[in-house]
Amino acid sequence: MKKYFIFTIALVFTTLIVLADDAKFMNALKNCSSYSESGTVNTEGMNVTSNKKILGWEGDKCVYQEKVQFSGVDSCITCKLSRAQINELVSVMEAYAVVQKYSNEKVDTSSISAVQDNPVVKAWNKYLQDSSVCTMTANQLNK
């Protein structure tokens, strides 16, 4: 199970990079308003299907949920973010979007190692790996 946890977190990094310049996602996160987006990213030679949702406020925490499927594993990460955490994540994503707007470089999502030093990854990583903020479940799918 630990192998799936680490790998799923790494795959979420990749899908977050793809969303980093998505103004609709950032605005929804900033306001903790209902949002849903699905897509597929190819990384590490696998098609990774992601379904991201912002479910809204639960008390004083904004609930973010991402379901990720890859190589027969179905996982779900649920984060309950404070207003300060949301502000930090949105600030990093907005700054990254501005840099990308003026950059000729394409974001490389072909491997997990290619995205590890990305500022969006670093900002989210702090919370994704904190069990008091984010929790994960993973199940092996029957083939």
Helices 119-128 and 83-101, axial angle in degrees (round to 10): 160
Nearest CA-CA partner of 99 in 25, 21, 28: 21
Residue 16 confidence (pLDDT) above 80: no
Residue 2 confidence (pLDDT) above 50: no
Residue 10 confidence (pLDDT) above 80: no
Nearest CA-CA partner of 125 in 84, 83, 77: 77
Residue 1 confidence (pLDDT) above 50: no
* Ramachandran angles phi, psi of 44, nearest 5°: 55, 30
Helices (H), the chain: 2-19, 23-31, 83-101, 112-115, 119-128
In tens, the pLDDT along 20-67 reads 558 888 999 999 999 998 877 766 677 778 888 999 999 999 999 988
More confident residue, 93 or 113: 93
Range ranked top by mean pLDDT from 12-26, 47-61, 65-79, 109-123: 47-61
Strand partners, 69: 49, 74
The number of distinct structural domains making up the chain is 1
Lowest mean pLDDT among 20-24, 59-63, 88-92, 116-120: 20-24
Give 4's pLDDT tier (boundaries 50, 70, 90): very low
Domain that holds residue 94: 2-140
* Ramachandran angles phi, psi of 107, nearest 5°: -75, 130
- What is Dmax (Cα atoms) for the chain? 45
Helices (H), 32-106: 83-101
Q: Which residue has the tokens 């008390």?
A: 59
The β-bridge relationship of strands 61-70 and 73-81 is antiparallel
Do 123 and 92 contact (CB within 8 A), yes or no?
yes
Predicted confidence at residue 74, as pLDDT, reads 81
